């Protein structure tokens, strides 16, 4: 039996892979779900599962008190939301924007929403489409706490954990940017490592188990480094002088095989700068303090 009443409703704007997953989770939870996408045809499977296909974005947002937006970026979101018929239909309703972009864009959209009588929450999805509707999904949100509390029961239909990070509307996007920084830097590092390994006759499959071992080390390391940063202490367990030497070996081996080492050269440059500023005996995380200095 559904936990929602017949009046419980939600609209999903944007039916890419993630948008379809969100709409599917709402349908699975028994919510009356209206969907719309700029490119027609992506709603067929959802309609077959009882979703309502709106003929326009304004029709879609008028169908529910809550609209969830999931498109490629805020340029796309603004193109949809800020058109006058849609903006007028949204007045007095709530938008939860799960589109990925920058903190400044989130704050700009929130200011626009406030000026048009639209209730607004920002958020980010931190896990892939296959997790949506399952306990493995992770969502973060920011904006007015009372508004979040009001809509949390419906948002919970998306599964997993939902964390309200604070009233600053840009806070979820800031977390998202920082966490994606970790992810894509790691992905770039793995791609580079695979290129170097292959040049030395090691297959990606042979490397992968050992790469996983490196990855398994990181959570504990991150926690320890976070304590150092917030407590303004500096461990000397792995001094920057040693780190720079290791980075130089990677650069040398890469370039000996004709492999672009520009990313590692940049990282080594940061380490050398820290050494030049007298921090050679400090741990690597000292670089975080120096990155913002001109």
Phi/psi region, residue 159 (left: phi>0; alpha: psi -120 to 50; beta: rest), is left
pLDDT at 234: 65
pLDDT (0 to 100) of residue 265: 97
Query: Would you state the pLDDT for residue 196?
Result: 98
The topology (CATH level 3) of 9-167 is Rossmann fold (3.40.50)
pLDDT on residue 249: 98
pLDDT at 257: 98
* pLDDT recorded at residue 293: 74
* 256-264 own/partner pairs: CB under 8 Å, 24+ apart: 257/196, 257/199, 257/200, 259/192, 259/195, 259/196, 259/199, 261/192, 263/188, 263/189, 263/192, 264/192
**What residues pair up with 141 in beta bridges, in sequence order?**
123, 164
Question: pLDDT per residue over 65-112, tens digit each?
Answer: 999 999 999 999 999 999 999 999 999 999 999 999 999 999 999 999
Q: Closest by alpha carbon to 10, among 47, 35, 38?
A: 35
Calpha distance 191→121 (Å, rounded): 36
Instruction: Provide the pLDDT for residue 237.
Output: 73
- CA-closest candidate to residue 235, choices 275, 273, 282: 282
- Give the C-alpha separation, 194 to 181, whole Å: 20
pLDDT score recorded for residue 238: 83
Please tell me the distance from the alpha carbon of residue 168 to that of residue 143, in angstroms, as a whole number: 6
Listed by start position, the domains of the chain span: 9-167, 174-291
Query: What does the buried/exposed string (b/e) look like for 220-232 if buried means 16 or more CB atoms within 10 Å of the residue's CB?
Result: eeeeebeebeeee
DSSP-derived letter for residue 119 is E
Closest CA to 160 of 122, 126, 134: 134
Q: What residues in the chain have per-residue pLDDT under 70?
A: 1-7, 234-236, 294
| 200 φ, ψ (degrees, to nearest 5) | -100, 10
Class of domain 174-291: mainly alpha
Q: What is the pLDDT of residue 231?
A: 87
DSSP codes of every residue in 242-270: HHHHHHHHHHHHHHHTT---HHHHHHHHH
């Amino acid at each position: 039996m559904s936990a929602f009443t017949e009046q419980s409703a939600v609209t999903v704007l944007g039916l890419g892979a993630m948008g379809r997953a969100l709409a599917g989770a709402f349908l699975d939870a028994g919510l009356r779900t209206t969907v719309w996408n700029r490119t027609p045809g992506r709603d067929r499977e959802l309609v077959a599962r009882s979703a309502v296909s709106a003929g326009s974005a304004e029709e879609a947002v008028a169908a529910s008190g809550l609209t969830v937006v999931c498109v490629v970026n805020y340029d796309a979101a603004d193109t949809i939301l800020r058109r006058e018929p849609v903006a007028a239909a949204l007045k007095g309703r709530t938008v939860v924007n799960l589109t990925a972009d920058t903190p400044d864009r989130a704050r700009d959209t929130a200011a626009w929403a406030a000026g048009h009588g639209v209730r607004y929450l920002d958020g980010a999805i931190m896990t892939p489409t296959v997790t949506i509707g399952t306990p493995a999904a992770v969502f973060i949100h920011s904006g007015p706490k009372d508004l979040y509390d009001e809509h949390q029961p419906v948002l919970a239909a998306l599964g997993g954990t939902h964390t309200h990070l604070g009233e600053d509307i840009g806070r979820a996007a800031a977390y998202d940017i920082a966490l994606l920084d970790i992810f894509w830097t790691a992905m770039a590092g793995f791609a580079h490592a695979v290129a170097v390994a292959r040049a030395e006759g090691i297959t990606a499959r042979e490397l992968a188990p050992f790469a996983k071992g490196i990855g398994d080390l990181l959570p504990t390391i991150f926690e320890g480094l976070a304590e150092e940063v917030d407590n303004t202490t500096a461990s000397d367990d792995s001094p920057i002088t040693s780190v720079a030497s290791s980075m130089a070996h990677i650069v040398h081996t890469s370039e000996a095989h004709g492999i672009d080492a520009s990313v590692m050269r940049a990282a080594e440059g940061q380490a050398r700068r820290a050494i030049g500023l007298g921090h050679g005996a400090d741990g690597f995380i000292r670089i975080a303090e120096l990155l913002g200095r001109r």
